[in-house]
Amino acid sequence: MTAEASRRLGRPPTTVNGQTVPERLVEVALRLFAERGFESTSVQDIVAAAGVTKGAMYHYFGSKDDLLAEIYARVLRLQLERLTSFVQQDGPVAERVFAAAADVVVTTIEHLDSTTVFFRSLHQLSADQAREVRRERRRYHDLFRGMVLEGQRSGAFRDDIHADLVVDFFFGSVHHLPMWWRVEGRSSPVEVGHSFATLLLDGLTRP
Amino acid sequence: MTAEASRRLGRPPTTVNGQTVPERLVEVALRLFAERGFESTSVQDIVAAAGVTKGAMYHYFGSKDDLLAEIYARVLRLQLERLTSFVQQDGPVAERVFAAAADVVVTTIEHLDSTTVFFRSLHQLSADQAREVRRERRRYHDLFRGMVLEGQRSGAFRDDIHADLVVDFFFGSVHHLPMWWRVEGRSSPVEVGHSFATLLLDGLTRP
Amino acid sequence: MTAEASRRLGRPPTTVNGQTVPERLVEVALRLFAERGFESTSVQDIVAAAGVTKGAMYHYFGSKDDLLAEIYARVLRLQLERLTSFVQQDGPVAERVFAAAADVVVTTIEHLDSTTVFFRSLHQLSADQAREVRRERRRYHDLFRGMVLEGQRSGAFRDDIHADLVVDFFFGSVHHLPMWWRVEGRSSPVEVGHSFATLLLDGLTRP
Amino acid sequence: MTAEASRRLGRPPTTVNGQTVPERLVEVALRLFAERGFESTSVQDIVAAAGVTKGAMYHYFGSKDDLLAEIYARVLRLQLERLTSFVQQDGPVAERVFAAAADVVVTTIEHLDSTTVFFRSLHQLSADQAREVRRERRRYHDLFRGMVLEGQRSGAFRDDIHADLVVDFFFGSVHHLPMWWRVEGRSSPVEVGHSFATLLLDGLTRP
DNA sequence: CATGAATGAGGTTTCATTCAT
DNA sequence: AATGAATGAAACCTCATTCAT
């Protein structure tokens, strides 16, 4: 038992393989939602796969929807963090856009399940939750669009196509990755990232 | 009475506004599946919206899944027909790719509901149905890829990016349209088609 | 076309393999009821197996129950006819009982499906139909019991066991035949009939 | 509180008149299946008669079929236990057979509903369940046949009739009891048992 | 004589959630 | 912190029957 753990009061949380029960539940739910869809996955399926009982799940999460909301929160947080780090870098805008574009492809492939669930299950969220997700998603979109706009103003990028359209064009490609990318397939994540970023940049660069 | 008509027996099918019951059912189901998702739409919802009874639905469709399968069959048929017509045209390959790309965007926007359901509900199909859909989808992919390959061999297109990746890149953008395109939005279907086709072609053209 | 048929007016009944439609329906229904049970056989199953439509069935039979009632009527008629012929014969009572007992075994094996349905589906009949069946069944029982009583009075049979019990004892054995007798099994119908009749008679004869 | 009790967790099972919910369900289902047949008894009928909800039933039994399977398991266990005790006794084989035969009649009358359901609803079981039932039933048959064979070898019983036929002959009579035996009828269970055993033994004894 | 369409009631089962401990 | 029992609403589907032709 670590010093930190012993400082806490009461029964320490149950852990399996270093994961707490709620962590396991989210991870298992993510996998099952990606495999079968949210509605086709029962709470019973989730708790059985996580090796706990329903009572335990309802102890940590108010509802099945809350599990989904937590999945959304995690993926949004992760994506925003990574993009922010690229936006804040120095260097020519074209290089920053290229790096960010290539990175989001790689990161998406590393979290394929999250992306699958993200775009398939938006309609399962409550109105409030969906609004919140769209708000966060908008921040992400705007951050990327900011770089595109910067490139257009500086003359590096063509400006005959609206920046919003450019962002939707590229992120469509990214969000579609779970539909076709396979571990056993031809292209590695890095190769796909490089190709997609190249296609974007060359399409975007003033001819 | 024609010979064909005289061969028909039994109570004649009910029609509403010139639509037969199975036609109405598919149309209504498509709308509801797009709005709420397949699993969140009950058979009761569908038949109520179509103004028929459950028995009538099960007279024509073996299951709720069959309704979904019929929706898939229709959209696959439509897409394949349109693409085929572009592939068979004459003229420079770049122009054909541009025209096909712009057209698929416009067509997709005109059938947004179908696309929404298509990419969100694949996992609801039975194994057999899913295999059949993937087979048809593959034919579509190969048709488009054929044009890309032709351009690469003729020297019109860059060949440092695999043709498959190019197709997945572009159709990701297309399939993502239902996530953001709105009637009341800034860009008309034709404008989006032109912009997307331009981004694709300029990214694809040998620099 | 036979002379008899041509004498009838109107369209002659459809026949398949020399069977009329209602005959086919009863035969098919009997087979399916024996295989799967009455409730697990749908009207659709029956008409499909008979190669006609539901309308045709409801043209000849008022309901699914009527089909069952017809099956009961046929088997009752057959059984009663055969037993009557044995009862009316001459000769020692023991020989008549032996012959009747052996015959009912053989006849039952030749109509195993009927017996299966008979004793499994009595509770599916309407109150009226069930009463009627029991009445006919009672006539059959009484006919056989009459021979037993005759033997008891003449001193040929033991009289320390009530004749009713003797009848129920033996016909239990008979009605149970569908539970175990198989074409591919060890004993032929005639052998079983001989053995069962022997066991009955030797048990019945005054020791 | 005992160690065993302290291991139990969760809400304690509801009991009515000392019966747990699953016990009540099996008892009620047995009665209804015997009265109306398996297919004509709805799950709603069962839970209403047992005073619980459908959810409670599906908490304990995976399906309506499982209820039936449980009924079969109970009656098979009971029959096998009783027969085993007779087989293991000492004394002349004829006396053991007589005692076992008379007892199975009495026991069957005491559990008429079970026997009714047993022989009427075999075809409702799944292939697996039916195979298991036939296996157990076979053990029972073989146990009884063993005594008959012993009698034939020792010269106590006739050996011109195959032991299997003897068993099927007698148990047909037994299984048919629910078709005619009534509480208000002429013969008590013990009388029927005595008569049936007598008929069997006298038929079986070497003349 | 026979058809195929359509009904509507009822069937079994699933499932997210709450409860008492 | 966690259990297993129990709920109740709603899901998909079946089916005997009737209808209009």
Mean pLDDT of A161-172: 97
B101 CA – F6 C1', rounded, Å: 57
In a domain, B2, yes or no: no
- For the full predicted model, state whether its pTM sits above 0.75: yes
- pLDDT averaged over every residue in chain C: 90
In a domain, B127, yes or no: yes
Residue A205, strand partner residues = A157
Same domain, B39 and B90: no
Q: Are D157 and D204 in contact (CB under 8 A)?
A: yes
DSSP-derived letter for residue B53 is -
- What's the one-letter identity of residue C74? R
Same domain, B129 and B172: yes
Tokens encoding B97: 């790719």
Tokens encoding D5: 């009790």
Please tell me if residue D162 touches chain C, with a CB cutoff of 8 Å: yes
- If residue A16 lies in a helix (H) or strand (E), which one and from where to where? strand A15-16
Tell whether the model's pLDDT for residue D1 goes beyond 60.
no
Same domain, A82 and A28: no
The nucleotide closest to C22 (CA, C1' atoms): E1
Q: Please give the Cα distance from A18 to B187 (Å, whole number).
A: 50
What are the distances in angstroms from CA B68 to CA B119, C160, C161?
12, 73, 70
Q: Are B189 and B110 in contact (CB under 8 A)?
A: yes
In a domain, B4, yes or no: no
**What is the domain-level CATH number for residue C28?**
1.10.10.60
- pLDDT score recorded for residue B178: 96
User: Cα–chain-centroid distance for residue C38?
Assistant: 17
Rounded to a whole number, what is the distance in Å from the CA of C7 to chain D's nearest CA?
A: 46
Give the CA angle between residues D93, D94, D96 to the nearest 5°.
65
Domain boundary residue among D62, D92, D108?
Answer: D62
Same domain, B21 and B108: no
Same domain, D48 and D105: no
Q: Are C156 and C94 in contact (CB under 8 A)?
A: yes
Convert the pLDDT of each residue in C3-24 to its tens digit: 343 333 444 456 666 788 889 9
Q: With contacts defined as CB-CB under 8 Å, which chain B residues touch A182?
A: none
Interchain CB distance below 8 Å, C192 and D119: no
Same domain, C71 and C157: yes
Rounded to a whole number, what is the distance in Å from the CA of A87 to chain B's nearest CA?
A: 23
Domain assignment of residue B78, given as a range: 64-204
Q: Are C124 and C39 in contact (CB under 8 A)?
A: yes
Per residue in A23-48, is it b (16+ CB within 10 Å) or e — as a string? bbbbbbbbebbbeebbeebeeeebbe
Tokens encoding B132: 């059949």
Convert the pLDDT of each residue in A77-116 to its tens digit: 999 999 999 999 999 999 999 999 999 999 999 999 999 9
B9 CA – E3 C1', rounded, Å: 5
Interchain CB distance below 8 Å, C169 and D173: yes
- pLDDT score recorded for residue C128: 87
Measured in degrees and rounded to the nearest 5, phi and psi for residue D183 equal: -50, -45
Question: Which of B148, B165, B205 is most worth mutating to test chain A (most A CB atoms within 10 A of its CB)?
Answer: B165
Q: Based on the structure, what is the number of domains in chain C?
A: 2
Same domain, A176 and A103: yes
Q: Please give the Cα distance from C174 to C155 (Å, whole number).
A: 26
Tokens encoding C162: 């009530």
Domain boundary residue among B37, B62, B87?
Answer: B62
Convert the pLDDT of each residue in D33-46 to its tens digit: 999 999 999 999 99
Tokens encoding D17: 């008149």
In 3D space, the residue among A40, A60, A70 whose CA is nearest the CA of residue A133 turns out to be: A70
- pLDDT score recorded for residue D19: 84
Tell whether the model's pLDDT for residue D133 goes beyond 70.
yes
- pLDDT score recorded for residue C6: 38
The nucleotide closest to C20 (CA, C1' atoms): E1
**What is the domain-level CATH number for residue A166?**
1.10.357.10
Same domain, B90 and B187: yes
Beta-strand relationship, B15-16 and B19-20: antiparallel
C-beta within 7 A of nucleic chain F, residues 55-84 of C: 55, 58, 63-65
- pLDDT score recorded for residue C11: 45
Same domain, D55 and D80: no
In a domain, B1, yes or no: no
Same domain, D58 and D76: no
Tell whether the model's pLDDT for residue D12 goes beyond 90.
no
Same domain, B101 and B17: no
Q: Grade residue D32 by pLDDT with cuts at 50, 70 and 90.
A: very high
In a domain, B3, yes or no: no
Q: Please give the Cα distance from D89 to D93 (Å, whole number).
A: 10
B52 CA – E6 C1', rounded, Å: 9
Interchain CB distance below 8 Å, C203 and D199: yes
Q: Grade residue C2 by pLDDT with cuts at 50, 70 and 90.
A: very low
Rounded to a whole number, what is the distance in Å from the CA of A16 to chain B's nearest CA?
A: 31
Convert the pLDDT of each residue in A114-141 to its tens digit: 999 999 999 999 888 899 999 999 999 9
Same domain, D22 and D87: no
Domain boundary residue among A44, A60, A76?
Answer: A60
Tell whether the model's pLDDT for residue C55 goes beyond 90.
no
